[in-house]
Chain A
Amino acid sequence: MKGVWGLGHVAWRLVCSGALLTAVACAPSTGGGTLTFDAFAAGPEALEAAGEYEFVTQAGYRVTLTQATLRVGAVYLNQQVPLAGGAARDCFLPGVYVAEVTDGATVDLLDPRLQPFGAPGRALLDPARTAEVWLLGEGTEIDAEEDGAVIFEAAGTATRATEPGAEEWPFTVSLSIGSNWRRTPTDPKKPGDNPICRERIVSPIPVDLSAAEGYALELRIDPALFFRRVDFSQLPESARGYRFSDAPEDQPSLNLYRDLHGTGAYQLRFTPQ
């Protein structure tokens, strides 16, 4: 490299410098770019219209949802390649965040029509490999101990798929995320393990996306996958039917809560507007 800097090349540089004014006028880019984009969320595309959603779960139940809403506080895209399963991670990924939608929305998961977030998102023109969905009430800090907002609310009925009509479990769900779901650190040397912020973040969702002008971010959430491991027969019965508890007190509630954080339920893409 240094070889080209000798005095012998001064004349060459002087000649080349003649074009410098033009070159400066056409200053090079710093690379990348930024843009704003509209963002939407919706239920599964397979739903033809808003209304009920019927599906069969991995646990062998035929579920009919008559109501399902999810509070999405924010969506982020990150350059970081998804970490290997089980690897420890902080609440924030180490890579560069390349897109964000920070004004959330309460999404009707039984409606396939696109529902806008509160405000457009911002993005860099860099590819994203990981997505995060933050389940957060409006105005709540990600590491706040409590969040008064209902994050997931649903109602419906479930029957055994192999014995339709034999037994029915009408159920309701009203789930919030705060100290009720906080996991106690198992290692006393690591009191900061399992921070509450991690309970509110669905991550890492593998994606391969790049924002572009004229494209909108589309987040589709399939609530069927939230219930895939729920054994409705284990739900505690109350006077108002079967109700999921808002704490890890019973297996159905715990499975629902875990699958709420399952990355497979969340699909993201940029679509032309």
Chain B
Amino acid sequence: MSARAVRTALVWLSLSLGSSAAWAQPADATPPEVITRVSAEYPESAREAGLEGEVMLIVVVSAEGRVTSAEVETSQGRALDQAALAAVRGWRFAPARRGGEPIAARIRVPFSFQLPADDDEPPKAPSASEAERPQVPEHTDDDGHDHTTFEDEYGEIVVVGRARAPSRGASDFSLRLGELGRVPRRNAAELLRLAPGVLLTSEGGEGHAQQIFMRGFDAREGQDLELTVDGIPINQLGNIHGNGYADTNFIIPELVEELRVLEGPFEPQQGNFAVAGSADYRLGLERRGLTLKYLAGSFNTQRLLLLWGPANESHHTFGGVEIYDTEGFGQSRAARRGSAIGQYEWRIGRTGLWRLTGQAYAVDYKSAGVLREDDLDAGRVRFFDTYDPWQGGSATRFSVSSDVEQKLQGTLFKQQVFAVQTGLRLQENYTGFLLDVQQPLQDPHTQRGDRIDKHVSTSTLGARGSARWHTRAVGERQELELGYFARADKSEGVQSRVQASNAVPYATDTDVEAQTANVAAYIDASVKPLHWLNLRGGVRAELFGYDVLNRCAVTSVRFPSGGAFDGDLGCFSQQPNGEYRLPEQRTTTSGSTLLPRAVMVLGPFEGFAFSLAYGEGARAIDPQFVNQDGQAPFSGITASEGGVSYAREVRGVTLQARSIFFQTWVEQDYLFSQTAGRNTLADGTTRTGWVGALRATGGFFDVNSNLTLTRATFDDTGLAIPYVPPLVARVDAAVFGELPIRFGGGALSASSTLGLGYVGARPLPYDELSEDLLSVDVSAELGWKSFELGLLVTNLLDARQRIGEYNFPSDFSAPGATSLVPARHFSAGAPRAVFGTLAVHLGGP
């Protein structure tokens, strides 16, 4: 069963130790201070059961500042108790002191778990009697150390759960980063690799969206994966490079607190593009105060990161800005970007939460593209070279969002509005000098080059909202949620062909302006007839409306209209049968569909949860391909799976394991065409596979691992879908703790991480296989007081990685006969890179 515990949203700590005269503490002693605080998770089961209350813990903090023991004094049930214990065991303290010397101390830490409060409920403040009661009367040294006891200095720790939809079975992964956030990653997209079956490739440079493979899907740059950041859509509807293009490079990885990945369309809240599944980046900053981090290393790479989180505000109130610059490895891989994200979260009295988020991002980058394997073999190019140094692009993204969550009279209401503006320019050349064939209407020319120059801009306005009502029946909590999603998009895209010699455009392939409206409504119920049986699901209704102006509707001329055309423009007017027509054509249409989704979760045995899931999804058609009137076609997706998950805590180690069998059928798939430079329609496809995942979290380590096996085939031929990895394995591991070394009044802390990825040989067209991929990334960090010094090494083995391998025709050759037969191409992954980091933390607890 999923460990989709609801994360802590707000933690108010009274950490001004010693500031209250009411606190009883030994004379000449100072209490421990929290240095690192791990938020308590609101357990899924407790949230679903509506459990709230205060868990009081008695915690022993060693002279080294570690939690050596923690026990429950006041219980609120196993789930909440364990959540509080798990959190506090991850805390790190500056130890208590007596006469300046560190000593062990026993303290009391109360965790108050609250779902968003009803407006008619009284505030959950400790009662006078509770506040006055003696907190820890005894002074003990039961572990052989000198303990000093401090009374209730932590006041009330309120854990307010942002309510979320319940788990959708074994494929619903809520991935709390924690210490695994220290594993070296180049961008936020790589966080997706914490979820099973994810492979990321890119031949487009550091500002280009990553190509995402998930569970047998080639999701391209997002066309088959619904990506959101705190609910704000990332997928760009109507992007001519790929409908659903999703560039996550604007996300600052250090601001990602958690990642929820749902593999498969099993939740009524999932919308367009949720074919392989969906992923939601949840932002938050745990460390309060100011953080300044600088990275420098290989390829003249520099990164400056500034983060701040006001003390006494929630994790969801923060600001962050990143400036990045690199010359890149090999030819044509330089990039520079800047990204800023700010967010503020308020409590609305005791009844809810309000959040406001703003974001800005700009990038300019070069791209090396692909190389032919035979050119590498013949020594005509080197591994990190490029054929066309003009490749690259730029991108911008600006967004604002506001959301409110409030419980009123037993019903939880959510409302979010968002606005997103993006810009994208891409120059790519996959085929060299192949496609510019002389046309009769063109002036005589030699091959001018196949470089594509695209410009896309999109504007999105949208909102989503829901109301979740609950009641109790047959002794169990029953829930019903009604919700909606709406977004309006305006996109403009132009794709031109550019001369290799002087970068001057010579033909227009595509020139499309599209306005798209997407309105969806859903019903989501959670029915619990027995305490060990839960039926969750409902239905989603989607409607899409299109208004598309194709300014390049005629790209071939059989009946030229005299001098009204220019043979090199590509978008022609023509005069068929004597009737003159413009190159422009407007198309309006719409389509709707109903999508049932259901999950059955059985948990008759402690620790185990079995789930069966069924869901239908839909991918709306690319606006480029719509026809006038009639039902706009959807590509239907049908997915089902059976899984079992196991969660248990053994001697302070939390174990979570899952095993899932899945199958997904897509009615009409998209496959990328290198010659067309965009996605093209293909036939129906089926993916079948197995996923295994294991996470073990202890007081000094965190390990997340997964393995995915997939068989992906075309329905009509039974042949394998090219490029889909049949085997993906990944291990992320972190070891952390304090070292038994102290100087200058501070203890040394250390952490070490490992990111290990393996991708089996991928099938390529014409029955070829790619090379397999093995990646090893490591890091080590030392912390002392407010300082952290780190060393990161990516691609430790310095493997020559062919991140992407493709078979298609191209001609980048030297003068002579043209190559026309499909040939192996690859995009090179980065060689070994070494980076050093220095971080300084100021302010905060």
B464 to chain A, nearest CB (A): 28
Is the CB of B447 closer than 8 A to any CB of chain A? Answer: yes
* Minimum CB–CB distance for A149 against chain B, Å: 11
Cβ contact within 8 Å between B441 and A100: no
Q: Is A10 an interface residue (CB 8 A)?
A: yes
Asked whether, in the complex, the Cβ of A20 is within 8 Å of the Cβ of B638, the reply is no
The 8 A CB mask of B432-454 against A (1 = contact, 0 = none) is 00000111111111110000000
Binding stretch for chain B, among A89-97, A157-165, A218-226, A238-246: A89-97
Q: A192 vs B718: C-alpha distance in the bound complex, in angstroms?
A: 44
For residue B710, CB closer than 8 A to chain A, the reply is yes
B53: Cβ under 8 A from any A Cβ = no
> Does B711 sit within 8 A of A, measured CB to CB?
yes
In the bound assembly, the distance between CA atoms of A190 and B722 in angstroms comes to 40
- Contact pattern, A 1-37, Cβ under 8 Å of B = 1, otherwise 0: 1100111011001100100110110011111111000
B709 touches A90 (CB 8 A): no
Provide the residues of chain A in CB contact with B442, threshold 8 Å.
191-192
Quick one: given A30-B766, A197-B438, are A92 and B820 in contact (CB under 8 Å)?
Answer: yes
Whether the pair B440, A193 counts as a contact (CB closer than 8 A) is yes
Residues of A contacting B661 in the complex (Cβ-Cβ under 8 angstroms):
13-14, 17, 20
Evaluate contact between A123 and B821: CB separation under 8 angstroms: yes
Stretch in A44-52, A138-146, A251-259, A261-269 touching the partner:
A138-146
Q: How far is the CA of A190 from the CA of B567 in the complex (A)?
A: 9
- The answer to whether B440 and A88 touch across the interface, beta carbons within 8 angstroms, is yes
Is B379's CB within 8 Å of the partner chain A?
no
Comparing B420-428, B538-546, B809-817, the segment that makes contact with chain A is B809-817
User: Which of A23, A24, A197 makes the CB contact (< 8 A) with B727?
Assistant: A24
On whether the beta carbons of A100 and B689 are closer than 8 Å, the reply is: no
Q: With an 8 A cutoff between CB atoms, is B358 at the interface?
A: no
Task: Give chain B nearest CB distance to A97 CB in angstroms.
Answer: 4
| Residues on A with beta carbons closer than 8 Å to the beta carbon of B297 | none
Smallest Cβ distance from B437 to chain A, in angstroms? 5
Check B711 against A5 for contact (C-beta < 8 Å).
no
B811 to chain A, nearest CB (A): 10
Q: How many residues of chain B have a CB within 8 Å of chain A?
A: 60
A20-B688 contact given A27-B711, A102-B818, CB 8 Å threshold: yes
B560 adjacent to A189 (CB under 8 Å)? yes
A76 CB–B CB distance under 8 Å: yes
Please tell me if the beta carbons of A143 and B447 are within 8 angstroms of each other in the complex.
yes
Once A7-B612, A13-B640 are accepted as A-B contacts, the answer to whether A34 and B766 lie under 8 Å apart by CB is: yes
Which among B665, B809, B816 has the highest number of chain A CB atoms within 10 Å?
Answer: B816
Q: Is A235 an interface residue (CB 8 A)?
A: no
Q: A14-B661, A24-B710, A90-B437 are in contact. Are A2 and B817 (CB under 8 A)?
A: no
Q: Would you call A138 and B717 a contact (CB within 8 A)? A: no
Asked whether, in the complex, the Cβ of A140 is within 8 Å of the Cβ of B768, the reply is: no
Chain B interface, >50% SS class: loop
**B321 contacts the other chain (CB 8 A):** no
When distances are taken between beta carbons in the complex, the residues of chain A under 8 Å from B710 are: 24
Find chain B residues with CB under 8 A from A247 CB.
Answer: none
User: B801-843 vs A: 1/0 string, CB under 8 Å?
Assistant: 0000001010001111111111100000000000000000000
- Which of B638, B709, B721, B823 is A21 in contact with, Cβ under 8 Å? B709
- Taking CB as reference atom, which chain A residue is nearest B439? A192
**What A residues does B720 contact at CB under 8 A?**
27-30
CA distance A143 to B663 in the complex (A): 50
Task: Indicate whether A30 sits within 8 Å of B765 (C-beta atoms), given known contacts A5-B638, A14-B642, A134-B817.
Answer: yes
Complex: how many Å from CA A34 to CA B736?
Answer: 50
| Chain A positions within 8 Å of B767 at CB level | 29-34, 125
Q: Which residues of A contact B614 (CB under 8 A)?
A: 5-7, 10
Interface string of B697-733 (1 = CB under 8 A from A): 0000000000001110101011111100011000000
Contact of B690 with A by CB under 8 A: yes
B483 CB–A CB distance under 8 Å: no
User: Given the interface contacts A24-B727, A102-B818, does A7 sit within 8 Å of B640 by beta carbon?
Assistant: yes
A20-B711, A27-B763 known; A100-B440 Cβ under 8 A: no
A15, closest chain B residue (CB): B661
User: A residues within 8 A CB of B104?
Assistant: none
* B558 to A, closest residue via Cβ: A88
A122 interface neighbour in B638, B717, B817, B821, Cβ under 8 Å = B821
Q: Are A97 and B763 in contact (CB under 8 A)?
A: no
Query: Nearest Cβ in chain B — how far from A12, in angstroms?
Result: 10
A141 & B446 in contact (Cβ 8 Å cutoff): yes
Query: Across the interface, which residues of A come within 8 angstroms of B439, CB to CB?
Result: 90, 192
Interface residue ranges of A25-74 to B (CB < 8 Å): 27-34, 73-74
Question: In the docked arrangement, what's the CA distance between A124 and B808, Å?
Answer: 12
Most chain A beta-carbon neighbours within 10 Å: one of B642, B690, B766, B767: B766
Report A-chain residues with C-beta under 8 Å of the C-beta of B562. 189
CA distance A191 to B442 in the complex (A): 6
**What residues on A are CB-neighbors of B717 within 8 Å?**
31
Please tell me if the beta carbons of B437 and A136 are within 8 angstroms of each other in the complex: no
Q: Given the known A-B contacts A17-B690, A28-B718, are A143 and B446 also in contact in the complex, defined by CB atoms under 8 Å?
A: yes
Interface digits, B656-671 against A, CB 8 Å rule (1 contact, 0 not)? 0000010101000000
Which residue of chain B has its CB nearest to the CB of A96?
B822
Which residues from A are CB-within-8-Å of B766? 30-34, 124-125
- Determine whether the beta carbon of A136 is less than 8 Å from that of B817: yes
Q: A20-B711, A100-B820 are in contact. List 9 more A-B contacts (CB 8 A).
A: A14-B642, A20-B689, A28-B711, A28-B720, A31-B767, A102-B817, A122-B821, A142-B817, A192-B439
Query: What are 17 A-B contacts defined by CB distance under 8 Å?
Result: A1-B665, A17-B688, A24-B727, A27-B763, A28-B718, A30-B720, A30-B765, A30-B768, A31-B719, A32-B767, A34-B768, A90-B438, A91-B437, A141-B815, A143-B446, A191-B440, A192-B438
Which 8 residue pairs of A and B lie closest in terms of their CB atoms, listed nearest first?
A: A74-B817, A97-B820, A17-B661, A195-B438, A190-B440, A102-B817, A192-B442, A28-B720
B: which residues have CB within 8 A of A? 437-447, 560, 562, 567, 598, 612, 614, 636, 638, 640, 642, 661, 663, 665, 684, 688-690, 709-711, 713, 715, 717-722, 726-727, 763-768, 807, 809, 813-823
